[in-house]
Amino acid sequence: MSSGDDGADRGGRETPPKHGLAGPEPDERPHPEGRRNSQGIRIDPEVEATHEPRRAVFSALVEDEPGVLSRIAGLISRRQFNIESLTVGPTTVDGHSRITMVVEETEPDIDQIRKQLGKLKPVITVGELDEDAVRTELVLLKVEGTEPDKVHAITEMYDGQTLDAGAETITVQLTGDEQEIDDAIDAFRQFGIIEIARTGYAALARGNQPTAPGEKPGTADEPTRPTNTQ
Amino acid sequence: MSKQAPTPDEEPADADPETGADAERAADFRPATTGAESVVHALENAGVEAAFGVQGGAIMPVYDALYHSDIRHVTMAHEQGAAHAADAFGVVNNEPGICLATSGPGATNLVTGIADANMDSDGMLALTGQVPADMVGSDAFQETDTIGVTAPLTKHNYFADNPDSVGDTVGEALALADEGRPGPTLVDLPKDVTLGDTDTEPGPAEPPETTRPQYVADEENVAAAADAIEAAERPLLLFGGGVIKADATEAARSFAREHEIPVVTTMPGIGSFPEDDELCLSWAGMHGTGYANMAITHTDLLIGVGTRFDDRLTGGVDTFAPEAEVIHVDIDPAEISKNVHADYPLIGDAGTVLGQLDDAVDAAPDADEWRRQCQEWKQEYPMDYATPDDEPLKPQFVVEVLDEATADDTIVTTGVGQHQMWASQYWTFTEPRTWVSSHGLGTMGYGLPGAIGARIAADDDREVVCIDGDGSFLMTIQSLSVAVREELDITVAVLNNEYIGMVRQWQDAFFEGRRMAAEYNWCPEFDKLAEAFGARGWRVDDYDEVADTVEAALAYDGPSVIDFHIDPAENVYPMVPSGGANGKFALTEEQL
Ligand SMILES: Cc1ncc(C[n+]2csc(CCOP(=O)(O)OP(=O)(O)O)c2C)c(N)n1
C-alpha cells in the first residue's frame, strides 16, 4: 500500500521527508484479556484446558498399492506422532487391504491423525474404533526348554499353542488383548524368555457396526466406496 | 479399460509451413505407439499448453514425443527453475503447471520447487524420468528413489509401471493436482515404460476414486455460523490463498461489502481483496500492517476463509485472536482446528460456502464502532518510511515507483527476504493472481523462474515484474539465459543491499549484531551480468534516477534488470517476533 501522504512528486527529491513508522509502543496498546492454549482453543484463564494422551485404534481400508504402508508410516512419523503398532493384511476385496494402527496421543492430535490419513490417496476410508471393538494380538514366545511340562501347563492356561518343542527351547503362540498377553508374558518369565515377536493389534468393530466408516460387507463385485466422513 | 484411438483426421494441428522444423513437427494426430506418446497425449487431452524442464537420459523418450506436440516446452537452465516456473505458470492461470526432469540429479533438483508448491497448495505436475524398471533398486546410473524422496512433498506420487496405463496415470495425476485443495503430484517414468510399445490412448483426465472433496458445507453449521456473524460486534474476515485458488474473489468481495465486514488477508491471500478498498486492512502476520494485526488481536469473530493459520500469520497461537470465536471455511478437513480451533467448521469450496453464508446471514452485524476503530488504527500505524535527502535509496520508494508506473494487472514475483516484504507491503495489490511468491517454504530464488512462468502464462499486454534480493537473484540467476533465449518481456528489480538482508536484520535484532555469513559484498554487478546474458541492465543509486530507469526498463521489450543499490541498513517493520503476539508488533528494533 502507498504511504499515507499523496507523495506529490515521486520521481524526484521534492518528495517531502517521511517519518517512518509511528504509533504507540507495544505495551501502551490496549490488549484483550483472552488467551488460547497450545492447540489454539480459547481458554478460561482460570481453568487451563489440557489434554491427556489416550490410546486410539484406527482402522483404514486402503488400496493395496506398492508403498502404501510406508506412506502411512511416513505421514505419521513426520508429524511426530508415535505409532504403537501397525498391522496390515488383505480383505475380502481384491486389491484392498486393512490397516489397523494404534497410537497414543492427545485428543486434537488423534483428530489430526484421522484427517491426515483420510487425505492420503490410497486410503478409501478410515475411522477410529470404539472402546468395545474386538481387538486381538498374536505373540510368539521362545522360552528355555528345561521344564516342558510346566511350560505346557501355562500355555494351556492362556489358551495358547505349542508350535515347536525341542530339547533346548519351546516356542508357543498366544493371542488375546494386550492385558492377557502381558499377563502371559509375565507368567512365562520364570522359564527364561529367549525371544518374543508381537504383531500388534488386528481389530474389528463389534456387531454389525462397520469397522471403517461407510464400510460394507466387502465383495469383489461391490467394494466399499470412499465416503465423505470428515 | 480399453480406449478408442481418435482417427488421424479428427485432430488436425496447425502446421507452420515457414520452417522445415515446424513442418516436420506438423502435429497431425499420431496414434500413440509408445508409453511416452501416450504420456504426451494425456497432457494434450487435458489442454496443457506449456511445460518447463531440462532434458536427460531417462526422460528423453518423453521429450521425443513432445517433438511432435503443440505443447510449448521451455527449456530451463536448472530444474529448480523449471519447478518454480511451472508453479508460477499455474498460479497465474489457475491450473496445474507442468515440469519435467530426468532421473537422479534432474529429479532431485526439482525437489525444492515441488516442496514449495506443496507448502503453497499450488497445483503442479512433475514428470520425472527413471531408470528402467528392472534396474530400479540397483543404484543404476542416475538412479534416485524419486518416489521416496518426494512422497512427503506431494499430494500423491505415482510410479508408472506399464506403457498401456501410463497415459491414464499421468491424466489422473494431473486431475488430482487440481482437485479440491490443489497441490503437486509426480509421476516417475521408467525409461522402459516410456519406450515401451502401446496403442492405448489415454482416457479423459480424472481424479482417483478415493478422493472425494466436499464442496458444499453442512447447512446446520452454516446456519450456526450465520447467527454468529449477525451477533458479532467486531467481525473480521481473514482471506487466505485458498480464496484465490478457489476462484472465489468475487464471492469474497461481495460478501465483505454487503455485510460491511473489515478484511485482512494472509500474505498468500494478497489480491483476494483490493488493498485500496476502505474495508481492507491489508495483510496480517509477522511483517503485516499494524492495523491488520490490531484488528486480528481485537476481533470477536474471525471468519477465516481458505487459510491454514500458518505460524507466520498467527505468531504464538496462545495470543492469536484471543477474544475471537472462529469460523473456518476450508476445503481440506485436516486444516480445520489444526492450528487454531474452529468454533464453526465449514468444510467446502470457498466460493460455494461464502454463497451459502451469504444466503444465511439475514442482517449485517452491527459494527459501526468497530469499523471506525479499524480506520483509526490505519491512522495510528500507517505504513511509512523515512526518505531524507541525504540517505541512500530506500527500497520502499523503489517499490512504490514501480507500482505507480505499472497497471493494476501487473504480475509481481519475488525472491525471499526483506525485498519480498517490502514488495508485499508497499505495492497496492488489487487483483488476484498478481502476487506470485514463495510463502510457506520461503524459497530464495523463486522470483526469476517464477517471472518466466508468469510471463508464459500471461497475456502479452500485461507487465511481469520480479522484485528480487541480491541473494535470492543469485540463487537462480542462470534462468536469465532462458528469458533471453525465449525473448520474454520481464523486468527484474533487484533491491541490492549487499546483504542477505533478512538474515542481517535478525542477527542485529536477536544475535547481538554478529553478522556471520550475511554479507554479500562480493556481489557481481548485476547490470553488467544482465548484459552478459544478453538482457538489458541498469544500475541505480539515486532517487533521481529511479522513475526514468523504471520507465526505460518497462519499455524495453525483453528481459531487463535494474540493480537498485539501496540503503543496506534498512529493515522491515512492523515485525511480530516469532511466537509473539500479533498486537505487540514492533515498529523499531528497540521495540523487539
Ligand atoms: C533457499 C534458501 N536458503 C536460505 C534461506 C534463508 N534466508 C531467508 S531470507 C534470506 C536472505 C535473503 O537475502 P536477499 O535475497 O538478498 O534478500 P534481502 O533480505 O536482502 O532483501 C535468507 C538467506 C531461504 N529462505 N531460502
**Per-residue pLDDT, B21:** 47
CATH of the domain at A144: 3.30.70.1150
In a domain, A9, yes or no: no
Q: Measured between CB atoms, does A121 come within 8 Å of chain B?
A: yes
Nine-digit cell at B200? 492405448
Nearest Cα residue to atom 23 of ligand 1: B500
Residue A219, pLDDT above cutoff 80 = no
Using one digit for the tens of pLDDT, what is the confidence trace for B314-344? 999 999 999 999 999 999 999 999 999 999 9
Mean pLDDT of all residues in A180-209: 95
In a domain, A227, yes or no: no
Q: Which of A76-80, B132-136, B295-299 has the lowest mean pLDDT?
A: A76-80
Task: For a ligand 1 pocket test, name from B477, B500, B578 the mutation site with the most ligand atoms within 8 angstroms of its C-beta.
Answer: B500
B30 band by pLDDT with thresholds 50, 70 and 90: confident
0.90 exceeded by pTM: yes
Is A123 found in the same domain as A147? no
**Per-residue pLDDT, B571:** 96
Which residues in B lie closer than 8 A to residue A38 (C-beta atoms)?
317-318
In a domain, A88, yes or no: yes
Task: Give B480 or A10, the one with higher predicted confidence.
Answer: B480
Is A124 found in the same domain as A154? no
Residue B6, pLDDT above cutoff 70 = no
**Annotated catalytic residue, options B55, B135, B142, B375:** B142
Is A124 found in the same domain as A70? yes
CATH architecture, range B219-380 = 3-Layer(aba) Sandwich (3.40)
In a domain, A7, yes or no: no
Report how far residue B178's alpha carbon sits from residue A70's, in angstroms, rounded to the nearest whole number. Answer: 24
Mean pLDDT of all residues in A168-180: 96
Using one digit for the tens of pLDDT, what is the confidence trace for A10-31? 444 455 556 688 899 999 999 9
Residue B23, pLDDT above cutoff 90 = no
B38 band by pLDDT with thresholds 50, 70 and 90: very high
Using one digit for the tens of pLDDT, what is the confidence trace for B446-463? 999 999 999 999 999 999
For residue B82, CA distances in Å to B69, B85, B194, B496, B534 come to 19, 5, 21, 25, 20
Mark A198-210 as b/e (b = at least 16 C-beta within 10 Å). ebbbbbbbeeeeb
In a domain, A229, yes or no: no
**Per-residue pLDDT, A43:** 84
Is A139 found in the same domain as A114? no
Say whether domain B395-573 belongs to CATH 3.40.50.970: yes
**Per-residue pLDDT, A135:** 95
Nearest to B318 among A2, A24, A37 (CB): A37
Residue B362, pLDDT above cutoff 70 = yes
Judge if the beta carbon of residue B270 lies within 6 A of ligand 1: no
Report how far residue B42's alpha carbon sits from residue B186's, in angstroms, rounded to the nearest whole number. Answer: 14
Find the B549 Cα to ligand 1 centroid distance in Å.
Answer: 26
Every domain of chain B with CATH number 3.40.50.970 lies at 20-211, 395-573
Amino acid at B472: S
Nearest to A18 among B298, B384, B586 (CB): B384
Q: Which of A76-90, A212-226, B199-213 has the lowest mean pLDDT?
A: A212-226
Is A140 found in the same domain as A82? no
Q: Which residues contact B416 (CB under 8 A, 6 or more apart)?
A: B437, B438, B442, B443, B444, B446, B469, B472, B502
Nearest to B317 among A11, A36, A112 (CB): A36
Percentage of chain A surpassing pLDDT 90? 70
Find the B465 Cα to ligand 1 centroid distance in Å.
Answer: 19
B191 is a catalytic site residue: yes
Mean pLDDT of all residues in A61-87: 91
Percentage of chain B surpassing pLDDT 70? 95
In a domain, A46, yes or no: no
Q: Which residues contact A156 (CB under 8 A, 6 or more apart)?
A: none
Is A186 found in the same domain as A122? no
In a domain, A175, yes or no: yes
CATH of the domain at A108: 3.30.70.260
Is A138 found in the same domain as A195? yes
**Annotated catalytic residue, options B44, B502, B507, B526:** B502
In a domain, A100, yes or no: yes
B142 is a catalytic site residue: yes
Mean pLDDT of all residues in A41-67: 84
B1 band by pLDDT with thresholds 50, 70 and 90: very low
Is A116 found in the same domain as A65? yes
- Of A129, A156, A176, the last residue of a domain is A129
For residues B49 and B35, is the Cβ–Cβ distance under 8 A? no
**Per-residue pLDDT, B387:** 83
Q: Measured between CB atoms, does B369 come within 8 Å of chain A?
A: no
**Per-residue pLDDT, A222:** 73
Is A100 found in the same domain as A66? yes
Is A117 found in the same domain as A83? yes
Is A142 found in the same domain as A110? no
Neighbours of A220 (CB within 10 A): 10
* CATH H-level superfamily of B20-211: Thiamin diphosphate (ThDP)-binding fold, Pyr/PP domains (3.40.50.970)
Domain boundaries, position A164: 134-204
Report the number of distinct structural domains present in chain A. Answer: 2
